[in-house]
Amino acid sequence: MAREEEQFERIPTKICPSSDEAAKTVAAEIATLIRERAESGKNVVLGLATGSTPVPVYRELVRLHKEEGLSFRNVITFNLDEYFGLNDDHPESYHHFMWERLFKHVDIPKDNVHVPSGTVDRSAVYEYCQSYEQAIEEAGGLDYQILGIGRTGHIGFNEPGSTRDSLTRLVTLDALTRLDAARDFLGEANVPLYAITMGVGTILKARKLVLMAWGQSKAGVVRDAVEGVPDENLPASLLQGHPDVRFFIDPTASEELIRIRLPWLVGPVDWTPRLIRKAILWLSDTVKKPILKLQESDYNENGLGELLIDSGPAYDLNIKVFNQTQHTITGWPGGKPNADDSNRPERAKPFPKRVLVLGSEPHEDILCMGGTVHRLANQGSEVTLAYLTSGNLAVPDNLTKQTLALMAELEEEMDFKKGDGLSLGQFAEVILKSFEDVGDSDQDSDAVRRIKSFVRRNEARDAAKILKIDRDQQTFLDLPFYEKGRYRNFFPADEDVDTLSALLESVKPHQVYVSGGLADPGSVSGVCYRVFQRAMKRVSGEGWVKDCRIWSYRGVGQEWPLNEIDMAVPLSPGELASKIEASFQYRSQRSQFPFRASSHREIWQETDDINRSTAEAYDAVGMAEYEAIEAFKEISIAALQGA
């Protein structure tokens, strides 16, 4: 029976402490099933998924095979889907993905592996799909099916509109799905239009279903699938009613569930100051009244009667939360020297502070906190902007080619010789030629990636310059996990931690600004955050750490909700304008390029909207009216290390 707090949930959902732990639980269940079947001489039929989500499960299964002797000889697998039109060896094909992540590392017989073919002749697709269904039946049906979830709510490639009874078939990919895949394919234009996928009906026939979801970007769709009514427009919701379905999610993917978002509605709660603030800011938003105008009736009519009994009356609660919210606002993010700091988010001393701003890619710092960076530097702090990855995977070819063409042209004008090797222009010609030799979605050569890194470095320098930050305050770490990896296969290694700990030790910061704590742990910013956690653990014995505060910013395109904000830095109209001007410098990230082609919005527009709407949110609860606000949440060193 579901517990009281899960009363709105129509699918049993386990919120695990981290994606790694969830993946270990799922892998352990699979391993137990494999072993039990092996003992009685039977096969086990697994339904497998692709995407970043199941990667930690495959990693753990490979570990169990290598270190604990788990054999896959009795395992038969069927994958959910494959892009239509891709050869098996295409780097983005799901065949390639599965062999690289799992099959080639274990002892599964090749003939036991089934991944839908992306190269069936169009006229033979129907028969092919029927034969895929039949093969599943003949193997005895799916024993254990793992699933991820797309932002459209798709499972496999069953996009909105897929019926409950649908079977394996050729489908058209949703525009949002193609946009999400654009990064992997180095451009939306390269993403296939169609795919072959098991149907919702095929999936529902599996005896056990486990859906996993990590990161904040999945929180909304998880809520709809778990708490909404079953709806073909959200195919994952059709899993409701299956006799053995479970969701395993991480804390950030759980954020939209009622038990997390509005816990007071589903049972008794421990009214901590933070929860009180969350409840009252929610109430203010719900009844559209500023905090100081909230009345007892507003509390009672919106499920907060218990709070009144516990900590009321409303007048006292209102004042308390009003003050708390007011005290998050500061024009001095580095602390105000010689001022009473008892009600300020940052301490006055020491001053000036050494400040380290970490950006997972070379545009994140300015886009998310350019106004704060400007203030910190302007008010005397020693600011270092450090970029953890080069970001070169996100640079479109055409921009790189333009840069090279410019170099080649320069060569004609100037007599440049690079040692006794190639001239600058000859070098550029060789690289330009190399674009012709590889397909659009093939991996870039090291030289091309290097050049793309320089493109991003220069953008980051141009942006910082507008905010009056010198280039010697910027440092580019080019962490190896990114240089060696590709999307959906990033993993933090010791060498990444070495690099970042060395930087921390050399700066000995009083403040670190960092993002990525809520991101999918397999994403670039999610991996960067884990590298940061490990680096901080490594340096935890150093004296300066006791005096260091960690401020978390949300990352590109996002902002903290009001109740999570510990420091809000208002920007004047002029400061916002400079930040936006700085944001124009990220030419490689502009929407006319394939990565963002169908979002129709430039990143500077998103930035502008986000900062203005945070200011509006403060205004709506009764604070002063500002043009724009950048927001931060404090993370205690203990919370950072305990995670």
Residue 360 found at the interface with ligand GLP (CB under 6 A)? no
Residue 51 found at the interface with ligand GLP (CB under 6 A)? yes
Among 149-157, 456-464, 525-533, 610-618, the segment contacting ligand GLP (CB under 6 A): 149-157
- Which residue's structure tokens are 């979002």? 599
**CB nearer to ligand GLP: pick between 196 and 451:** 196
By rule CB under 6 A, what count of residues binds ligand GLP? 14
Residue 249 found at the interface with ligand GLP (CB under 6 A)? no
Residue 81 found at the interface with ligand GLP (CB under 6 A)? yes
Q: Mask of contacts with ligand GLP, 261-300, x by CB under 6 A?
A: ----------------------------------------
**CB nearer to ligand GLP: pick between 50 and 112:** 50
Among 104-112, 137-145, 148-156, 537-545, the segment contacting ligand GLP (CB under 6 A): 148-156
Residue 148 found at the interface with ligand GLP (CB under 6 A)? yes
Residue 247 found at the interface with ligand GLP (CB under 6 A)? no
Among 51-59, 374-382, 530-538, 624-632, the segment contacting ligand GLP (CB under 6 A): 51-59
CB 523, min distance to ligand GLP, A = 9
Residue 149 found at the interface with ligand GLP (CB under 6 A)? yes
Residue 333 found at the interface with ligand GLP (CB under 6 A)? no
**CB nearer to ligand GLP: pick between 216 and 453:** 216
Q: Mask of contacts with ligand GLP, 429-468, x by CB under 6 A?
A: ----------------------------------------
CB 28, min distance to ligand GLP, A = 20
Cα–Cα distance list, 640 to 77, 149, 313, 487, 517 (Å): 39, 28, 36, 25, 9
**CB nearer to ligand GLP: pick between 120 and 385:** 120
Whether the CB-CB separation of 325 and 623 falls below 8 Å is answered with: yes
Identify which of 261, 361, 348, 360 has the alpha carbon closest to the alpha carbon of residue 303: 261
Residue 19 found at the interface with ligand GLP (CB under 6 A)? no
DSSP strand pairing (245-249 vs 44-48): unpaired
Q: Mask of contacts with ligand GLP, 168-187, x by CB under 6 A?
A: ---------x----------
**CB nearer to ligand GLP: pick between 212 and 386:** 212
- Which residue's structure tokens are 């009600």? 343
**CB nearer to ligand GLP: pick between 192 and 570:** 192
Residue 53 found at the interface with ligand GLP (CB under 6 A)? yes
Q: What is the 3-state secondary structure (H, E, C) of 295-318?
A: CHHHHHHCCCHHHHHHHCCHHHHH
Residue 576 found at the interface with ligand GLP (CB under 6 A)? no
Q: Which two tokens stand for residue 395?
A: 């640079």
Identify which of 448, 453, 525, 457 has the alpha carbon closest to the alpha carbon of residue 490: 525
**CB nearer to ligand GLP: pick between 176 and 637:** 176
Supply the Cα-derived Rg of the chain in whole angstroms.
Answer: 26
Whether the CB-CB separation of 129 and 168 falls below 8 Å is answered with: yes
- Cα separation, 293 vs 621, whole angstroms: 9
CB 189, min distance to ligand GLP, A = 18
**CB nearer to ligand GLP: pick between 132 and 157:** 157
Residue 523 found at the interface with ligand GLP (CB under 6 A)? no
Q: Which amino acid makes up residue 410? A: L
- Cα separation, 532 vs 516, whole angstroms: 10
- Produce one character per residue of 63-78: b if its CB has 16 or more CB atoms within 10 Å, e if not: ebbeeeebebebbbbb
Q: Could you give the residue ranges of the DSSP H alpha helices within 17-163? A: 19-39, 55-68, 94-101, 125-138
CB 159, min distance to ligand GLP, A = 9
3-state helix, strand, coil in the chain (%, to 5): 50, 15, 40
Those residues whose C-beta lies under 8 Å from the C-beta of residue 396, and which sit 6 or more positions away, are: 186, 187, 588, 593, 594, 595
CB 522, min distance to ligand GLP, A = 7
Identify which of 321, 348, 337 has the alpha carbon closest to the alpha carbon of residue 618: 321
CB 257, min distance to ligand GLP, A = 18
Whether the CB-CB separation of 311 and 276 falls below 8 Å is answered with: yes
**CB nearer to ligand GLP: pick between 199 and 333:** 199
Residue 216 found at the interface with ligand GLP (CB under 6 A)? no
Q: Which amino acid makes up residue 103? A: F
Which of 72, 84, 144, 157 is the binder for ligand GLP (CB under 6 A)?
157
DSSP strand pairing (75-79 vs 208-213): unpaired
Which DSSP symbol is given to 522? T
Residue 159: active-site member: yes
Of the listed 82, 159, 188, 255, which one is catalytic? Answer: 159
Whether the CB-CB separation of 202 and 168 falls below 8 Å is answered with: yes
Among 147-155, 322-330, 358-366, 475-483, the segment contacting ligand GLP (CB under 6 A): 147-155
Which of 46, 49, 519, 615 is the binder for ligand GLP (CB under 6 A)?
49
Identify which of 131, 130, 99 has the alpha carbon closest to the alpha carbon of residue 113: 99
Catalytic residues: 159
Q: Which residues bind ligand GLP (CB under 6 A)?
A: 49-53, 80-81, 148-150, 156-157, 177, 488
